[in-house]
Amino acid sequence: MAAIQAYLCGYFFEKEAYMDTEEKQRTYLKKALLAILNKAQPQVRHILLVHGLVGKGSDANRRVQHLMSDQSHFYQWSGFSSTDEVERCMDALLDAEGGWCQDRGSGLWCFLVSVVLSRGSAAVGKDMDVTSSALIHEDGSGSLELCNLLLTGRAVSFTFNHDSSSHQRGYTSSTLVGILSGETNEEDDGDHVRTFATDPYYPSWVIHCNQKRYFSNVFMKKDLRKTFQQKKKLGGDITLEFVYWDCATEDDAIEVSVVVSSTGLLGKRRGVGSSSFVAKALLSIPQWADGTIDWCGNTPVRAP
């Protein structure tokens, strides 16, 4: 799930941690899941964690919906009195044989159900502005509303900064990790600002391709955003290094850079691979929208 991966990438490269890679991944996975739950439900007494079996295949969506309506099919834990209790329960779910981390198991589905039930099914439904929306599409792919639920705690249908005068709800504040889109859609009418989504606390973003119902990730191993504007004022070219990764495939992560010139001339050149959804997503960030993409010798990424 790209939203969870965005948290992991943000935490993983935040600072040096003296632990082996497996321990580091396990530690930051729990931290990511707890952060998502806390956004969906800040009051620990209302958090609900579940575990059960979800069938594989094309009918997985219907099975999850059945679990939501009939909770007798899985174990559940609720009534927590502290964050420590939630952490201990999650540790048990992650570490137990047959638990959330079991290969090809139901851990992801159970976590998603936990988030929805913790937020409250009715509240999730009210979050959505598009009445035809669903958290999971009929083909089993996740929706933008589901991604927003994991990123912000609210299953809103848009990613622009919320305007109280508009009936369409977006992001109400900056996020820990962000979301980018390289596509032109109904949000791109020139009136909406998306700085909450494009300028998160960690330099880690989900890339959303709406037409393909496709999510992937891009992140910085070292956060250079704070020094970017200062270096730009000093003149010369500035290179911002990113890593693109599609965790849903077995493809290796690839390096890609945004090169920005103080003269702004680079942005006027249409580089190789500039039509890639990854390039469009990276250049949708206002701070370096006048830059150009360097694929670092890699083949430009195309949406499947």
82/179 Cα distance (integer angstroms): 31
pLDDT for 64: 52
Structure token digits, residue 238: 């500035």
Residue 267 · residue 241 · CB < 8 Å = no
pLDDT for 71: 58
Structure token digits, residue 161: 């900064």
155/147 Cα distance (integer angstroms): 8
304/298 Cα distance (integer angstroms): 17
Q: What is the DSSP string of 95-109?
A: HSTTSTTSTTSSHHH
How many Cβ atoms sit within 10 Å of the Cβ of residue 89? 16
Half-sphere exposure (Cβ direction) of 296: Cα atoms closer than 13 Å: 15
Rounded to 5°, the CA angle 31-32-38 comes to 85
Q: How far is C-alpha 125 from the geometric centre of its chain's CA atoms? A: 20
DSSP 3-state assignment of 204? strand
Structure token digits, residue 262: 């103080």
The 8-class DSSP code of residue 245 comes to E
Residue 175 · residue 197 · CB < 8 Å = yes
119/200 Cα distance (integer angstroms): 22
Structure token digits, residue 142: 């996740």
Amino acid (one-letter) located at 54: V
How many Cβ atoms sit within 10 Å of the Cβ of residue 214? 17
Per-residue pLDDT of the chain (304 residues; tens, 9 = 90+): 899 999 999 998 887 666 677 888 899 999 999 999 999 999 999 999 999 865 544 454 555 555 555 555 678 999 999 999 999 999 999 998 888 998 888 899 899 999 999 999 999 999 998 777 889 888 878 899 999 999 999 999 999 998 666 677 889 999 999 999 877 554 544 567 889 999 999 999 999 988 778 899 999 999 999 888 888 878 778 999 999 999 878 788 999 999 998 765 555 455 667 889 999 999 999 999 989 999 999 999 887 7
Q: What residues are paired with 161 via a beta bridge?
A: 171
Main-chain phi, psi angles of 179, to 5 degrees = -145, 140
Main-chain phi, psi angles of 254, to 5 degrees = -125, 150
Tell me the whole-structure pTM to 2 decimals. Answer: 0.88
| Percent of the chain scoring above 70 in pLDDT | 84
Structure token digits, residue 260: 């920005």
CA distances 5 to 262, 289, 303, Å, are 33, 25, 18
CA distances 150 to 110, 116, 233, 252, Å, are 14, 10, 36, 25
Structure token digits, residue 96: 């137990």
Q: What digits encode the pLDDT tens for the residues 18-77? A: 667 788 889 999 999 999 999 999 999 999 999 986 554 445 455 555 555 555 567 899
67/272 Cα distance (integer angstroms): 47
How many Cβ atoms sit within 10 Å of the Cβ of residue 123? 15
pLDDT for 275: 87
Main-chain phi, psi angles of 108, to 5 degrees = -65, -45
279/259 Cα distance (integer angstroms): 12
Q: How far is C-alpha 176 from the geometric centre of its chain's CA atoms? A: 10
Residue 9's Cβ-count burial label (10 Å; 0-12, 13-18, 19+) is buried
